[in-house]
């Protein structure tokens, strides 16, 4: 399966940073490779390191990993609904409220990582299963038009964005 990368103007402007952060290439293969990258990065952390925040008020490693799982679930669900031709407008979500309610810091890092692996595997299965016609279908999320084709790229770019933040701001502060 090879999806053409969405062009500027084919997705809500709010997603532009994620589309720009998504590397070039076969999005499904890149999502699969990124799963290995996330697994490698988080599996190497201790529970103490999992609680690390690079600044007050920022998410911990655990909270960030939970956020990746939550957001990907939502993006994949949107892709499913739009890809299946459901034109019901879909709401946005408040990532901070989700983070607060997730209680990620109370969970084991291994459990959070297993959850992300399950979510990403389910996303990959969905993306591989959608027929060609599904990708051009348009829906509405958070009051803005988007096609199903954009959502795998958003999943990829969203995680890539956060992995870059981890490498720039979290990893240098670990002891």
The per-residue DSSP string of 75-90 comes to: HHHHHHHHHTT----B
Mean pLDDT of 134-147: 96
Predicted confidence at residue 93, as pLDDT, reads 95
Question: How confident is the model at residue 174, as a pLDDT?
Answer: 86
Within 8 A by CB and 6+ apart from 78, the residues are: 90, 139, 141, 146, 151
% pLDDT > 70, the chain: 99
Residue with the bigger pLDDT between 91 and 10: it is 91
Which tens digit of pLDDT belongs to each residue from 43-88? 999 999 999 999 999 999 999 999 999 999 999 999 999 999 999 9
Distance CA 140, CA 66 (A): 25
Per-residue model confidence (pLDDT) at position 61: 97
Other CB atoms within a 10 A radius of the CB of residue 63 amount to: 21
- Residue 115 contacts residue 52 (beta carbons within 8 Å): no
**Unique residue bearing structure tokens 């709401």:** 91
Mean pLDDT of the residues in the chain: 96
Type and span of the H or E element at 19: helix 16-21
Whether the per-residue pLDDT at 8 is higher than 90: the answer is no
Given a cut of 70, whether residue 1 has pLDDT beyond it is no
Q: What is the CATH number of domain 13-19+27-173?
A: 1.20.120.450
Q: What is the pLDDT of residue 47?
A: 97
Q: Report the percent of the chain where pLDDT is more than 90.
A: 94
Contact at 8 Å (CB) between 53 and 169?
no
Find all residues with CB under 8 Å of 127, minimum gap 6, and list them: 1, 27, 28, 31, 76, 79, 152
The domain ranges of the chain are: 13-19+27-173
* Residue 121 DSSP symbol: H
CA distance linking residue 126 with residue 123, whole number of Å? 5
């Amino acid at each position: 399966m090879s999806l053409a990368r969405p062009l500027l103007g084919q997705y809500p402007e709010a997603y532009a940073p994620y589309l720009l952060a998504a590397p070039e290439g076969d999005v499904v293969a890149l999502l699969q490779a990124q799963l290995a990258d996330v697994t490698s990065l988080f599996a190497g952390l201790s529970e103490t390191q999992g609680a690390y925040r690079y600044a007050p008020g920022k998410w911990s490693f655990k909270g960030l990993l939970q956020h990746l799982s939550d957001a990907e679930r939502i993006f994949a669900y949107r892709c499913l609904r739009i890809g299946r031709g459901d034109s019901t407008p879909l709401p946005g979500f408040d990532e901070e409220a989700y983070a607060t309610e997730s209680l990620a810091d109370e969970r084991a890092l291994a459990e959070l990582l297993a959850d992300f692996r399950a979510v990403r595997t389910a996303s990959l299965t969905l993306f591989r299963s959608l027929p060609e016609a599904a990708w051009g279908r348009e829906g509405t999320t958070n009051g803005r038009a988007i096609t199903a084709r954009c959502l795998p790229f958003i999943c990829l770019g969203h995680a890539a964005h956060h992995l870059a933040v981890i490498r720039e701001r979290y990893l240098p502060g670990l002891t």
